Structure 1
């Protein structure tokens, strides 16, 4: 039986030769293990890059990972107790190592189990001195180094190949609570890692509930924004725990993707419609407020008349601005015609409005008629003399009096354009045209805005997504997409965005993210204790939606900038309200620096691009410069875990998912398809039919109705016919 001193002595492999804050050089003993160490209790590979060594000191033991191994020519070493001085006087090859300190390992005696328990903490409490002994860690120490504290060992994600295949477990509170970034080149295993984290977390939660005697699903909320449609396959076995949303047509238990236009904020409408800030944006927001207030054709008559009067007032002011020449000489007939129109229109409006507005209109009629009569002369009063400035100012004052007596915004001021109140989006473009028609020369400014809105709604893939009929109630929408306590729907929602038109996919993602974030804000506000509702928002292909650009500053003017702005806010504030982000990207250098800087945990798969490697090296706070040099050579499924969820950076071999649970992102089988080993039947007619007419079920119904077997294209949805207002007889 060996004493503790003898056991420690058997683990000594060398001595500290030099010390700096980020590097410790070690001279290995001549009898240190060459390839496999047998003196640690179980055979262990040694030395290996990214392996670990210990340097005991008064604070416990400094933990360092191996970043360099080499041989240097040095004088033959002097071994204590042996006379080697005159043996040979030539340069002798000595093995040396460079290690980087990353943490401190301490031990304590567990009173219950009477066992020694090791715990690893971040940072170096005490740096070693030159000459200090360097030890190989025991299997128990290795497990404590690469593993988390016992309280944090909740979800297994893989093993450490360099630490005797010790289990790597993480705490979801730390993994998701401060945002996670999964980065790596395509084919390196990112999607499988993300799918595994979701599956393993739910499985661990369900097991903990069973162990505690609780029934039901975990009260979790994972919401996956999937632009490639690859995650649905990975969770088909989840049954009622999965809610899958797709662009129609849908089959089975799939649900139609529903991101209604009434849920969009005014800011989001402005970005997707590219509304100019001068004229288009105020009118667009006004139109949305009126539609949400149900004030379209039902506007009070005095307000409708006010808009017509306003158009006349604009023309009068334009005349006065151009000087006397605008209503004298040849222009006097145009002035007369305008006054006649004002008089006849106001006379027609007068019976339909109540007092005192009816009297004001009567005064306008009298003033305009008197001005026209005063300027007529000649036989049968067929000639017109010049009008004066006083004449035009008089009618201007009458028109202004009516404008001042009617408050156009009185009806809609109680409802904001951001309020989640349903309205028929198909009425928006026509309603904007009506507003512009009542604003004089604004029709030309608003026409392009209406054209863009009609064009967007004309896309058959988008019609049911943003304008579902009948609309889903806001409460049901929140239950369906964010989830409740797990009693009526599962903890996992996958939103398949693969068929959402590229023109609006950014605004759809931005709306979903914003509503999820704001709902969690309001949830915490309703609870006096400040309780949050933990939710995880997963974004695949994050570089597509949170792309850095030159327009980082200033208000969002495009859907892509709007999307980035939304996720930057979630990255900064989401933790306070229980919303955690999981970002998956193959191009970290294209991501918003603000979002990446807020991620506290990273899982780094193979990264080859120099700019991506440099960015990652600058982002991570740990002293892992040597470890990150392994990124270009990492095989699939291996990754570096570092950040808040692990005490020190760890090279992890991510657990492998069975093929049925892997996302649909495997490499294409070119050779097997070329050589006929894998059949690929092709039916472009089916593709063309589904592509050109949506949904296919409508085509089938039309064919049955026709009875002749000739496909009949069904009518477009209500409100989408002739979206550009063009006659079908006009040739193109």
Structure 2
């Protein structure tokens, strides 16, 4: 094959002396550039670590990145001397390079393009050349036709601009890693902003921007970062509705009826033997009762009557003796009393014939209870005729309520509306029916403390089905057709720690399942990016051998599922973390692109090095000394690993994560008035009393 690189042989600087798949060693010529190469058309620094060299071959030229520069002191002459002058050469120190092969640079009609991967290695003695500016730019510039987003430039390649393809960045998951103050948050904000600004320039005539980003912001940094970009919605915990800290923000709502049984189990710390089964039964039945529609407004009372009927027939099957000797023989009487009270609540919601039937059932229960009045705190033993009388009264109502058959409806994990008060009353009744008070006392205490906490209620409670529907929630938190591109910022900074992980778990799960169902119904995907700041807090490693259901574990598992399957449904992940060693390995291994800022901790560096090919590990040795704003871009988004100096964001577009100005405050250059009363009033919620 004709070698397209013959014309650059005058740029030769050395020869290959050692070859392996991971490393190639180069012996530089004595007259090779010492610090600046001028044989490339314009002066450029050479040799330098992380610089590039070329080794021409039959395919074009192998591209290598310099990982080591050194000198070999030889005890004997390596040159033959100058025989024509009868001169004997002396030992001379020889410079050497160690390079890692990256890809192949090909030429076509004067244009260069790099191809990742090496399939033809050089041989010992092959020449090595220093690339000119055009070749350097071709090495770092992405020739992908969709690589239209400029994120910075490469100072190692003649300040060539660096472009990315948004499909590769956002569609296959990216991790932005770096210590605090290394520019990590600005890079996250910049990748979103620069991508949307580039997209806005190419929106087709008559169309509008149709992007979707959902930012989980645990520190409240991104509130004003994207205000001028597209449709921006902000959600946060608002304690004082009269004077919110951000007038543009809406109350964060992740209602408890959206939680599945595992999320309820984690928040209530439910045990597996008694508490979880009763919890799941309660969720099934209250969701069934909460699923009221215009075609059947009697679902709730019918569900309740079925539940009473099933319980009574369980007693009936025990026989008279069993009822009389039932442990804690007040059990049935308390159940009947609770049932009568619960049925009374339905009288306010229904009218006409159904109301008459419920009143008849209540009257029958009260008649039975009067025959068996309490003795002190206990009901006496009930007889079989008592149960049959109540069962007959309930059965007679079937001509109004329909057939009272066993449960049919949503399962315990379906996001169907129910009221928290109904949930509490129903689980209390099931506890009494199953004589499980001793097992459920602490469980009920935990659940009640959560549902009655005013700080938590603002987030998880909805007073009516109309206040927040599933459709309305999806429109708000994922986006709808009326948006001109949407960025939804979910501020988690004031979310009580008791429910933080559950809320994030529910958010990520619902968003993922919504995209699953979108593809199933439309046979297309909805491109969305879920941005997770401080990801190490939410995607922690966990003990996979433990059966314990914890909120931390559920949260990590939810993101692991998105990492493994989200790409198929158009849901991409952008993770930002300063502690990659604490992140779930499953999630990190599914990230195809990495933007690495300064990382000092040795465990974090070791974790990152495990994620990249061995022959690229040398470039990661710079991680501890990378300056702010500089980062290493590698993976699917870049043709080869490169050090990028990121574009600069204007102050107004930066997240609120800059270093604090201690000195200026100390000397009075910046004023800081302290008014702890306003803060303490809001903290203690006194303004809402």
TM-score w.r.t. length of structure 1: 0.79
State the SS of the aligned residue for 1:196: helix
State the SS of the aligned residue for 1:243: strand
Name the CA distance, whole Å, in 2 between partners of 1:244 and 1:86: 84
- Higher radius of gyration, 1 or 2: 1
Deviation at 1:592, TM superposition (A): 0.7
Asked if 1:513 corresponds to 2:508, the answer is yes
Aligned pair partner of 2:637 in 645, 657, 669: 645
Asked if 1:534 corresponds to 2:527, the answer is yes
Q: Show the 5 A alignment for 1:124-203.
A: 124-203=118-197
State the SS of the aligned residue for 1:92: coil
Contact kept, 8 Å, 1:224 with 1:493, in 2: the verdict is yes
State the SS of the aligned residue for 1:65: strand
TM-superposition CA deviations, 1:518-538 (whole Å, max 9, x none): 1111111112xx311111001
Equivalent residue number for residue 307 of structure 1: 311
Name the CA distance, whole Å, in 2 between partners of 1:622 and 1:409: 67
Deviation at 1:85, TM superposition (A): 8.4
Contact kept, 8 Å, 2:151 with 2:190, in 1: the verdict is yes
Aligned pair partner of 2:596 in 584, 592, 604: 604
Equivalent residue number for residue 15 of structure 1: 15
Name the CA distance, whole Å, in 2 between partners of 1:647 and 1:547: 31
Deviation at 1:127, TM superposition (A): 0.3
Asked if 1:476 corresponds to 2:444, the answer is no
TM-superposition CA deviations, 1:474-526 (whole Å, max 9, x none): 212111111124x3464211110101111111111111111111111111111
Asked if 1:548 corresponds to 2:519, the answer is no
Equivalent residue number for residue 675 of structure 1: 667
Q: Show the 5 A alignment for 1:385-534.
A: 410=405, 412-439=407-434, 441-470=435-464, 471-485=467-481, 487-488=482-483, 490-527=485-522, 530-534=523-527
TM-superposition CA deviations, 1:53-104 (whole Å, max 9, x none): 0000112111100000011113444389x65885455321111111111111
Contact kept, 8 Å, 1:310 with 1:438, in 2: the verdict is no
Contact kept, 8 Å, 1:229 with 1:496, in 2: the verdict is yes
Q: 1:546 to 1:163 in 2, by over 3 A?
A: same
Contact kept, 8 Å, 1:184 with 1:586, in 2: the verdict is yes
Equivalent residue number for residue 213 of structure 2: 222
Equivalent residue number for residue 373 of structure 1: none
Q: 1:635 to 1:214 in 2, by over 3 A?
A: farther
Contact kept, 8 Å, 2:154 with 2:162, in 1: the verdict is yes
State the SS of the aligned residue for 2:145: helix
State the SS of the aligned residue for 2:225: helix
Name the CA distance, whole Å, in 2 between partners of 1:136 and 1:344: 91
Equivalent residue number for residue 253 of structure 1: 248
Deviation at 1:678, TM superposition (A): 1.7
Contact kept, 8 Å, 2:324 with 2:383, in 1: the verdict is no
Name the CA distance, whole Å, in 1 between partners of 2:669 and 2:320: 76
State the SS of the aligned residue for 1:16: strand
Deviation at 1:129, TM superposition (A): 0.6
Equivalent residue number for residue 35 of structure 1: 35
Q: 1:338 to 1:159 in 2, by over 3 A?
A: closer
Q: 1:437 to 1:76 in 2, by over 3 A?
A: same
Contact kept, 8 Å, 1:311 with 1:438, in 2: the verdict is no
Comparing 568-577 with 296-305, greater Cα deviation is found at 296-305
TM-superposition CA deviations, 1:693-717 (whole Å, max 9, x none): 17x4x4xxxxxxxxxxxxxxx2xxx
Q: Show the 5 A alignment for 1:36-435.
A: 36-74=36-74, 75-78=76-79, 83=83, 87-109=87-109, 116-209=110-203, 212-216=204-208, 218-238=209-229, 241-248=231-238, 249=240, 250=244, 251-292=246-287, 293-294=289-290, 301=305, 303-304=307-308, 306-307=310-311, 310=314, 410=405, 412-435=407-430
Deviation at 1:136, TM superposition (A): 0.8
Name the CA distance, whole Å, in 2 between partners of 1:691 and 1:342: 42
Equivalent residue number for residue 593 of structure 1: 585
Name the CA distance, whole Å, in 2 between partners of 1:267 and 1:455: 19
Deviation at 1:578, TM superposition (A): 0.7
Contact kept, 8 Å, 2:419 with 2:462, in 1: the verdict is no
Q: 1:452 to 1:145 in 2, by over 3 A?
A: same
TM-score w.r.t. length of structure 2: 0.84
Aligned pair partner of 2:649 in 640, 648, 657: 657
Name the CA distance, whole Å, in 1 between partners of 2:685 and 2:301: 33
Name the CA distance, whole Å, in 1 between partners of 2:56 and 2:336: 100
Contact kept, 8 Å, 1:36 with 1:46, in 2: the verdict is yes
Q: 1:466 to 1:148 in 2, by over 3 A?
A: same
* Structure 2: unaligned runs, 5 residues or longer: 291-298, 344-355, 373-380
* Structure 1: unaligned runs, 5 residues or longer: 110-115, 327-333, 370-391, 699-713, 715-732
Name the CA distance, whole Å, in 1 between partners of 2:271 and 2:388: 28
Name the CA distance, whole Å, in 1 between partners of 2:332 and 2:463: 47
Contact kept, 8 Å, 1:181 with 1:603, in 2: the verdict is yes
Contact kept, 8 Å, 1:621 with 1:643, in 2: the verdict is no
Equivalent residue number for residue 350 of structure 2: none
Contact kept, 8 Å, 2:16 with 2:124, in 1: the verdict is yes
Contact kept, 8 Å, 1:506 with 1:560, in 2: the verdict is yes
Deviation at 1:148, TM superposition (A): 1.1
Deviation at 1:48, TM superposition (A): 1.0
Contact kept, 8 Å, 1:225 with 1:496, in 2: the verdict is yes
State the SS of the aligned residue for 1:232: coil
Name the CA distance, whole Å, in 1 between partners of 2:117 and 2:47: 23
Deviation at 1:263, TM superposition (A): 1.2
Deviation at 1:303, TM superposition (A): 4.0
Name the CA distance, whole Å, in 2 between partners of 1:491 and 1:602: 24
TM-superposition CA deviations, 1:406-451 (whole Å, max 9, x none): 9999464312222222222244223321222233x21232222221
Name the CA distance, whole Å, in 2 between partners of 1:345 and 1:665: 55
Contact kept, 8 Å, 1:78 with 1:85, in 2: the verdict is no
Equivalent residue number for residue 549 of structure 2: 557
State the SS of the aligned residue for 1:523: helix
Name the CA distance, whole Å, in 2 between partners of 1:167 and 1:670: 36
Q: 1:512 to 1:342 in 2, by over 3 A?
A: closer
Name the CA distance, whole Å, in 2 between partners of 1:39 and 1:627: 26
State the SS of the aligned residue for 2:55: strand
Name the CA distance, whole Å, in 1 between partners of 2:278 and 2:331: 26
Contact kept, 8 Å, 2:306 with 2:406, in 1: the verdict is no
Name the CA distance, whole Å, in 1 between partners of 2:5 and 2:405: 88
TM-superposition CA deviations, 1:342-388 (whole Å, max 9, x none): 99999xx9xx999xx99x99xx99xx99xxxxxxxxxxxxxxxxxxx
Contact kept, 8 Å, 2:541 with 2:582, in 1: the verdict is yes
